[in-house]
Amino acid sequence: MSRHEENIENLLLDNKNEPIHKSPPKKNRGKKLLLILVIAVMGMIILNFSLYRYVPQRKGKVDIQTLRDLSKLATVEFRLKKIVKFRDQSLFGGRRLLIEVPALIKGGIDLAKLNSEDIVQDGKKITLYLPEPEVLDLIIDMENVREVVNETGTLRSDFSPGERNEYLRQGEEQLRAYIKEGKIDVLKVSESNARLLLSAWLLRFGFEDIQIINRDRNGGRRTTTSGASGN
């Protein structure tokens, strides 16, 4: 499973839940991309090794239950720091709150959703139809949530625990919306990693012609395929 670490302080929320974008610094971008690449390669190696025990002695045949047993196959992990921003104003003064919210997002494929029609085998050729990639887990690291700014007018009360929890909930919902809209590439990377991983895994079964096709959001099948050759 590949891992990505990002600080998305450019994703800010005001009280209308509208994102405010800032351009990230460029000077460390090269080092950051190199680190992500190294982590991704290491993650894929570790995950590929963990799947090795599922390869049977008898090659050239894979049944649906073997794939279902893999269940929720996490193929990418994102660690993000999101800034949630809230402000309001009244006759008694204003309030402003900025909270840094660390989040762990895992994306992958739920292979338990496969059915018998999703695997087509013909000798050393196999076609596998995968479910849509999805967010398998989104966890807010509550222990490391940090208030960056907390400004309250003299005649105003401080933010209550209930208000803080509501802003955290809004932040989580916005993260899910960004993923769905493709602003965070969790689903895209999950799908790409799953195809690479399963192609390499199926080669261990002795297949030489491998086609992996992803379903679209309506349950249909995409025309885009992924092939591998054992020659």
Q: Express each pLDDT in 99-130 by its tens digit.
A: 999 999 999 999 999 998 999 999 899 999 99
Q: Which domain holds residue 62?
A: 2-117+136-186
Across the beta sheet with 119-122, what order do the strands follow? 119-122, 125-130, 209-215, 221-229
Give a yes or no: residue 34 inside a domain: yes
Give a yes or no: residue 191 inside a domain: no
Q: Are strands 72-90 and 93-110 parallel, antiparallel or unpaired?
A: antiparallel
Give a yes or no: residue 228 inside a domain: no
In the chain, the number of structural domains is 1
Give a yes or no: residue 195 inside a domain: no
Q: How far apart are CA 111 and CA 89, in angstroms?
A: 49
Bridge partners (DSSP) listed for residue 19: 13
Q: Is the pLDDT of residue 5 over 60?
A: no
Give a yes or no: residue 54 inside a domain: yes
pLDDT band at 154 (very low <50, low <70, confident <90, very high): confident
pTM summary value: 0.69
Give a yes or no: residue 129 inside a domain: no
- The answer to whether 126 touches 210, Cβ cutoff 8 Å, is yes
Q: Is the pLDDT of residue 44 over 60?
A: no
pLDDT band at 38 (very low <50, low <70, confident <90, very high): very low
Q: How far apart are CA 86 and CA 218, in angstroms?
A: 37
Give a yes or no: residue 56 inside a domain: yes
Give a yes or no: residue 125 inside a domain: no
Q: Is the pLDDT of residue 15 over 60?
A: no
